[in-house]
Amino acid sequence: MATQLESDSKRPIRSYVIRAGRLTVSQRRAIDLYWQRYVIDYAAEPLQLDSVFSTNTKLIVEIGFGMGDSLLHMARQDPASNFIGIDVHRPGVGKLLQGIAAHELGNLKIICHDAKEVMQHCFCAQSIDRLLILFPDPWPKKRHHKRRLVQSDFIALITKKLKAGAEVHLATDWQAYAEQMMEVMEATDELTNQMGSAQYWQEPHRPQTKFERRGMRLGHGVWDLLFSKVG
Ligand SMILES: C[S@@+](CC[C@H](N)C(=O)[O-])C[C@H]1O[C@@H](n2cnc3c(N)ncnc32)[C@H](O)[C@@H]1O
């Protein structure tokens, strides 16, 4: 039987569409100059975290950082933790590389590859302290719902990679997706809603994101969810 990670024809269902072009000169330059230093090239094998970072400390992972402003902010605010951002959007990778280099951050690295494959292969079980998925593509049309990142098998996969007590923070500006997130998260055995059963996080601790600002301009609401892995 096909899982949500693959279609009936065995072609994987992607939660993103790569759009060609659109790299600015400075993003291209940052990719050329800083890729080797701050991007971890994808390989379908567990990361050796002690060779990626100079300190062995808390690991925070953001899936789908977009242009990376909020991830950069979090990494600057919390130099005692290590951060890995995963995204496939090259302009965002270029923009984030500019920020990492400008602040000479040693605690933030990027993986530019499909997060489903990265989560499957690159992280050992019980290795992540906090995982964020902020404003994933909402795929509003019914025929595209299968492309949504937050589905039960993906959440089961990431849950395995969390340490006991680790937190998962999700946010969306799309109510129907928030409800789907809540249903999937509440149904995942090893996760507990930190806000109480079926409750959203009303005053989330996180920077505002670019996609969130866009949603607000369009009059959308915002829903945050905070779950932790049962210890
Ligand atoms: C709607 S944007 C939100 C970006 C950012 N979190 C924000 O709030 O501004 C979603 C991002 O997730 C990325 N994305 C979607 N599916 C992904 C996947 N499977 N692997 C890696 N990145 C993915 C997209 O490239 C895009 O940058």
* Within a domain: 136: yes
Nearest CA to ligand 1 atom 14: 64
pLDDT at residue 215 above 80?
yes
Q: What is the mean pLDDT of residues 176-193?
A: 98
The verdict on the CB of residue 138 being under 6 Å from ligand 1 is no
pLDDT at residue 3 above 90?
no
**Domain hosting residue 220, numbered range:** 25-229
* Within a domain: 76: yes
* Within a domain: 119: yes
pLDDT at residue 1 above 70?
no
Amino acid identity, position 31: I
65 C-alpha to center of ligand 1: Å? Answer: 6
What confidence category does residue 9 fall into, taking pLDDT thresholds of 50, 70 and 90? low
* Within a domain: 77: yes
Q: What's the total number of domains in the chain? A: 1
Would you tell me how many other CB atoms lie within 10 Å of the CB of residue 195? 15
137 counts as catalytic: yes
Strand stretches in 65-115, DSSP E: 82-86, 108-111
The tens digit of pLDDT for each residue in 72-130 reads: 999 999 999 999 999 999 999 999 999 999 999 999 999 999 999 999 999 999 999 99
User: What is the best residue among 22, 89, 209 to mutate for testing ligand 1's pocket, by most ligand atoms within 8 Å of CB?
Assistant: 89
pLDDT at residue 2 above 50?
no
Paired with 171 in beta bridges are 134, 224
Residue whose pair of structure tokens reads 């892995």 in the numeric block:
229
* Within a domain: 17: no
The verdict on the CB of residue 90 being under 6 Å from ligand 1 is no
β-pairing verdict for 128-134 and 59-63 = parallel
pTM beyond 0.85, yes or no = yes
* Within a domain: 10: no
CATH number at residue 29: 3.40.50.150
* Within a domain: 107: yes
CA dist., res. 98 & res. 28, Å (int): 10
* Within a domain: 148: yes
Looking at 137, 153, 189, 224, which residue is catalytic? 137
The tens digit of pLDDT for each residue in 143-157 reads: 999 999 999 999 999
